[in-house]
Structure 1
């Protein structure tokens, strides 16, 4: 099995932007430190402050699933769980 790539956008309401921004750097740092994380980028859209973009690359499906498990139980997961996501997952 090859690398797992995830790209896409997450949206929040205007009154949630500060909460997302307050957790973003920690979420990115923890994700980048995970075993099997080859690349993890998370940024706020310059034109639409309620949109956040992500590009992730993990070495394997197992590494990606471990990332998902960690994320769901984190502060990031708790705060952003309900926010709509338009993500595409693929393998390379």
Structure 2
């Protein structure tokens, strides 16, 4: 049986705006949010892409481990993005991704 050495953390899902005003907030703040997140030391992958529905974005992210993911969450809550989008619905699933050796 393989030992689990570490677990990356992945998050997938959707950011779902309730109206055009919320969508405008996302568009206004998204580029900076993506830039800051991708610059985080533990970020392996971070994408937020629009869908055919102008109120919905697909989110996919991956961090090296739980500590990096948790640090990201703390930074986001304290950020301009976090404050501006705190009331927007998130429909996310968070998974540990084991690296088997």
With the shorter chain as reference, the TM-score category is: over 0.9
Equivalent in 40, 45, 49 of residue 46 of structure 2: 40
Q: State the number of aligned residues.
A: 91
What secondary structure is seen at the aligned counterpart in 1 of 2:7? coil
Alignment of 1:1-92 (within 5 A): 1-12=6-17, 13-45=19-51, 47-92=52-97
| Structure (1 or 2) with the larger CA radius of gyration | 2
In structure 2, distance between residues paired with 1:35 and 1:58: 9
Dislocated runs of 4+, deviation >2 Å: none
- More strand per residue: 1 or 2? 2
In structure 2, distance between residues paired with 1:68 and 1:26: 16
Q: CA deviation at 1:77?
A: 0.5
The gaps in structure 1 that reach 5 residues or longer are none
The gaps in structure 2 that reach 5 residues or longer are 1-5
In structure 2, distance between residues paired with 1:43 and 1:83: 16
Post-superposition Cα deviations, 1:26-78, rounded to whole Å, max 9, x if no partner, equal 00010000011000001111x10100111000000000000000000111111
Q: CA RMSD in A?
A: 0.9
